[in-house]
Amino acid sequence: MDARNYMKHIGKTVISFFQNEFGFHFDKENIKRLEYLLANRMKKNGLTTEKNYLDFICSQKGTRERQLLVASFTVGETYFLRNSSHWNALRNNILPKIIKKKLLHNDTSLRIWSAGCSTGEESYSIAIMISENIPYYQKWNIEIMATDINESSLNHAKKGIYTENAFRETKDDFKNKYFSKNWGKYKIHSRFQQMITFEQINLISNGFPKHYSCFDIIFCRNVLMYFSSSIAERIVGNIYNTLNDKGYLFLGHAESHITKNLKFKPLSFDNAIVYQKQKKQPVQFCSKTVRVNQEPKQVQHHPFNYLKTETRNQYQNNLSSKNYFHEALNLYSIGKIDDAQNMLNKNAQNQTLYSLLLVGLIYIYKKDLEAAQIIFNEARMIHDLTPETYMLGAMIHEEMNRISEAIQGCRNAIFLDQTFFYPHFRLGEMYRNMGDMEQMQKSYQNALKILHVDHSNRFKLFCVGYNKEFLEDYLKSIESL
């Protein structure tokens, strides 16, 4: 029997099997292409009848062959931060609303499902965005479920290794910040892999596993197009039942019609449409959340949540009535870092700009630069023209070995207040490490001139552990070199 006869006899049978088993929908053009594929696969496996081939792909020995066909049917293009309008909506609108609501209820859990995750770019993009937008996200109970029917794609996703092509919609600093480059490929940092559980799942099941419930957000983009309208509607119905009340659903641009028979409210966010569940429907099964880290659970309001815009106007720079800050600073100065942090946490409602900066310094001390960067962004939102804020940013950049940005941050701080000792001092230290002796001497001389003029609380904050006499002797010794 030649290949043409193979196609005539086995095409409809095998395709019908995949339609019934996996819910795939094939138009006439795709069926023609798949018939050639199936005929080829029959020949390669040495099978001469449609029944033999169908028996083979349904058997244990045919598992790999069946997966190969599934992969052929579901090949899709994906890359990091695909469809930027969706990610902007998540970052600027949806995450802030969810987080604010949860913190009001003393809840630090978050569940997100990436359905049809393919090779993992979408699920890792979610994890990265969470790390960028939730301060202290490591302290939250965060679960990201990532599923696909294609086993080969899931194996790729679990490895977290990508080529340059996966970053065609991102800037270079995205790769540099979250990936390690090796032999021309990029591996996602392990902390993001730990946030995600990958699992093979068939979406056309009448119901999802019990642990698929209580989701705050579900991504199911460009997945439903593989299914017939009736099956796609059934899948969305199941998804609806797994969402929390007021949960959010992301669909592909061409898939919006599938929500018409369910109570989803379309929300518009700058070229992005996101669907919000409206009717409250209790969910019977809420899985026990799995922490990203193994520390004991501490459920509390986040003390320095950048979303608390309504309280920003209450921040004061005057520290005279804020004794807790001085207590925390004293604890910090004698090396009791965790005690200092706990003191600040307990007094979150009375926070000041300086207490916020101290939190940032604590994170720099702990080498948690991502958390320190979040604190810097919050301080900048409170008041973007304070030299102390720019100094914190400069210190973060210096720790990240971004010396040019650190130098610019120190210069910005000096521009705002020339009597601020610490940026002059740090400039001298950086120029010294760079071997620029001329600029080093200038910076140290300026620092020495204003050392005894800077009487502000910021001297205690940034120069903790050093008194002015020690610093004067140090600067004079350098100046005499």
pTM over 0.85: no
Same domain, 269 and 381: no
Does residue 398 fall inside a structural domain?
Answer: yes
pLDDT of residue 4: 45
- Does the CA dihedral 12-14-18-24 come out positive or negative? negative
Same domain, 399 and 354: yes
Residue 293 lies in a domain: no
Q: Is residue 284 part of a domain?
A: no
Q: Give me the sign of the Cα torsion angle 362, 367, 368, 373.
A: positive
| Distance in Å from the first CA to the final CA of the chain | 92
Closest to 348 measured CA to CA, from 363, 359, 337 = 359
**pLDDT, the chain, mean:** 78
Q: Where are the alpha helices (DSSP H) in 301-436?
A: 323-333, 337-346, 353-365, 369-382, 387-399, 403-416, 421-434
CATH number at residue 263: 3.40.50.150
Rounded Cα distance between 368 and 411, Å, is 24
Q: What is the DSSP letter of 288?
A: P
Domain assignment present for 425: yes
* pLDDT at residue 9, as a whole number: 42
In a domain, 294, yes or no: no
- If you ran DSSP here, which 8-state letter would residue 118 be given? T
Tokens of 431: 């120029």
- Are 428 and 461 within 8 A, CB to CB? no
Mark whether 27 and 120 lie in a shared domain.
no
What is the Cα–Cα distance from 344 to 358, expressed in whole angstroms? 9
Shared-domain flag, residues 20 and 94: no
Q: Do 88 and 60 share a domain, yes or no?
A: no
SS3 198: strand
Output the pLDDT for position 256: 62
Asked if residues 369 and 363 have their Cβ atoms less than 8 Å apart, the reply is yes
Residue 225 in domain: yes
- Residue 425 is encoded by which pair of tokens? 């001092």
Q: Is residue 164 part of a domain?
A: yes
Out of 255, 277, 299, pick the residue that ends a domain.
277
Beta strands in 53-157 (DSSP E): 109-115, 141-148
Q: Does residue 218 contact residue 226 with C-beta atoms inside 8 Å?
A: no
Residues 170 and 113 in one domain: yes
Rounded distance between C-alpha atoms, residue 217 and residue 421, angstroms: 48
Could you tell me if residue 163 is inside a domain?
Answer: yes
Pair 8, 141 in one domain: no
Residues 183 and 329 grouped into a single domain: no
Contact status, residue 120 vs residue 152, Cβ threshold 8 Å: no
CA distances from 316 to 231, 321, 360, 383 (A): 57, 10, 17, 10
Within 8 A by CB and 6+ apart from 185, the residues are 161, 162, 163
3-state DSSP assignment of residue 307: coil
Pairing status of strand 141-148 against strand 196-200: parallel
My answer on whether 57 and 91 are in the same domain is no
| CA–CA separation, 246 and 217 (whole Å) | 9
Q: 106 in the Ramachandran plot: left (φ > 0), alpha (ψ -120 to 50) or beta? A: left
Same domain, 176 and 222: yes
Question: What is the radius of gyration, based on Cα positions, of the chain?
Answer: 29
- Contacts of residue 108, defined as CB under 8 A and 6 or more positions apart, other chains included, come to 102, 139, 140, 141, 299, 300, 302
Chain length of the chain: 481
- Show which of 46, 73, 100 is a domain's final residue: 73
- 16 shares its domain with 154: no
Domain check: are 260 and 207 in the same one? Answer: yes
Please give the order of strands across the beta sheet that includes 161-162: 161-162, 185-188, 179-182
Domains identified in the chain, total number: 3
Residue segments in the chain with a per-residue pLDDT below the cut of 70:
1-12, 18-33, 70-77, 206, 254-262, 279-323, 348-351, 382-384, 455-456, 465, 478-481
**Domain range holding 26?**
3-73
Domain boundary pick from 257, 277, 297: 277
